[in-house]
Amino acid sequence: MTIRGFTIDGFLIALVLVVLAAIALPGPGATGGILHMDAIATYGVAVIFFLYGLTLAPERMHAGIRHWRVHVAVQLCTFVLFPIVVLVLGTPFKSFIPSEVWIGFFYLAALPSTVSSSVAMTSLAHGNVPVAIFNATLSSLIGVFATPLLMAWFLSSSGVGMPLLPVIGKIVLLVLLPIIVGQIARHWLYAWAARHIRAIRLADRAIILAIVYNSFADSIMEGVWAGHDVSIIVSIVVGTIVLFFIIYWLMMIPCRLMGLNRADTIACLFCASKKSLATGVPLAKLMFGASPALGLIIAPIMLYHFFQLVIVSVIANREGRRAVAEGR
């Protein structure tokens, strides 16, 4: 859907509809419900990462590998700067929000960058696409282990604790192994995957929607949202928007200090400021299991995903028009 040059991602609309469906009809989507969304969500995690491995093209990373300064800046921002900013800004306010939302904000900070939208927006803005491909892909691979380790540290320091070894075991079995199998299968299924890339993306997004529906349905059935009003949503919205702009502005500093050209700066800013919902939702299912509070925990990444797309779309369109006007 396009409104005055701004394209609204159909997946965002589907996310809103799924949450509304969980509010209106939580029973069918809850764990043990007639739709068996919990089973789809559990085993669908492996399918998501198998498809990721199947469509991951290592050869596309080669062109951007030599821009090591950009890669270091992006990865440090993704896995170091983001958590530090959330801790510094959020700690004074954590007593005013539910503990699950506070966990959700740090979980958002611990996630890798998103792949598809970072590359698409960098291309739209006439930035360095190979650099975006390399960084977004590298971030996703690092995040398989960095995200659980960061969360284990955060939860243990908060007195909650997370059984790290069982979580790592699940991640190896349901994330790392499917990625490896997908890469191996790529030798035989590359042509098929290329022909059916749209169907693969639809399947990937359908599983994510199933996990979201199941998570919110469980939260509603357990009464997790009962003690909260619309103010908690407003707080998360404000927090995610403020977080995005702080990270975006902070990353301009190393871009200028390193003397990056316009194309590399765009790739750096777009990759460093984004977080992956596609990785965040299935990983949350593995790390937090069937917790009825999962809906609250993933709320920050869902809203951040929405606003990062909206804000970066505006920036990318503006930069793209400027590049065309300047003949770049």
281-314 residue pLDDT tens: 888 888 887 677 888 899 999 999 989 988 988 8
Q: Is the pTM of this model over 0.85?
A: yes
Count of structural domains within the chain: 1
Q: What are the residues facing 6 on neighbouring strands?
A: 3
Q: What is the CATH number of the domain that holds 142?
A: 1.20.1530.20
Domain that holds residue 190: 2-325
pLDDT at position 3 is 47
What are the pLDDT tens digits along the chain (328 aa)?
444 544 566 787 888 898 899 889 888 888 888 888 888 877 888 898 899 888 887 776 676 677 888 999 999 999 999 999 999 999 888 888 888 899 999 999 999 998 778 888 898 888 888 888 888 888 988 998 899 999 999 988 876 767 777 788 888 888 889 999 999 999 899 889 889 988 998 888 888 888 888 888 888 887 777 667 788 889 999 999 999 999 999 999 999 999 999 999 999 999 999 999 888 888 888 888 767 788 889 999 999 998 998 898 889 888 888 877 776 5
Reference 41, options 289, 296, 292; nearest CA is 289
pLDDT at position 289 is 73
